[in-house]
């Protein structure tokens, strides 16, 4: 079950909006498809990320996969705990496994994202 208060992208990232800031991570579905995550490569604070473009990579034992920005903005915080304990993304994808906080540059992009029910339908159809 997906947390109701979050928004979701087709590429399986979630967004938690607070004022003009957004926290970004990957969904429970995404972490479960990837399996044991061993490296998370994230941009530095100050980097501008752009909706639909890769902003980092996540590497599991099975595979390596791009992280795709669900919305645009400037990175203001990075979860450095993932350097040493990337498995947090597996264990707690919506809380301790968060990846970035960004200052959004275009709030209207949020309209493109799915709510929890829409995302649930989306992964069921796949």
Nearer to other proteins, 41 or 77 (CB): 41
Tell me which residues touch other proteins (CB under 8 A).
Answer: 35-36, 38-39, 41, 59, 61-62, 64, 90
CB of residue 38 vs other proteins: minimum separation in angstroms? Answer: 4
Of residues 90, 75, 95, 73, the one with CA closest to residue 39: 90
Nearer to other proteins, 71 or 82 (CB): 82
In our burial notation (b when 16+ CB lie closer than 10 A, e otherwise), range 23-51 reads: bbbbbbbbbebbeebeebebbeeeeebeb
Q: Which two tokens stand for residue 65?
A: 């996969």
CB of residue 27 vs other proteins: minimum separation in angstroms? Answer: 18
**Phi, psi dihedral angles at 49 (to 5 degrees):** -110, 155
CB of residue 77 vs other proteins: minimum separation in angstroms? Answer: 20
Nearer to other proteins, 39 or 121 (CB): 39
CB of residue 36 vs other proteins: minimum separation in angstroms? Answer: 4
Rounded distance between C-alpha atoms, residue 29 and residue 59, angstroms: 15
Nearer to other proteins, 10 or 35 (CB): 35
Instruction: Quote the DSSP letter at residue 36.
Output: S
């Amino acid at each position: 079950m997906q947390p109701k208060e979050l928004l979701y992208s087709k590429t399986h990232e979630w967004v938690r909006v607070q004022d003009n800031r957004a926290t970004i991570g990957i969904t429970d579905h995404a972490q479960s498809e990837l399996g044991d995550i061993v490296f998370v490569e994230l941009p530095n604070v100050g980097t501008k990320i752009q909706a639909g473009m890769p902003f980092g990579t996540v590497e599991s034992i099975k595979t390596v996969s791009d992280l795709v920005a669900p919305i645009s903005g400037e990175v203001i915080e990075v979860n450095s705990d993932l350097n040493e304990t990337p498995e947090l993304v597996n264990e707690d994808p919506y809380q301790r496994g968060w990846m970035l906080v960004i200052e959004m540059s275009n709030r209207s992009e949020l309209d493109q994202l799915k709510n929890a029910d829409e995302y649930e339908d989306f992964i069921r159809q796949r």
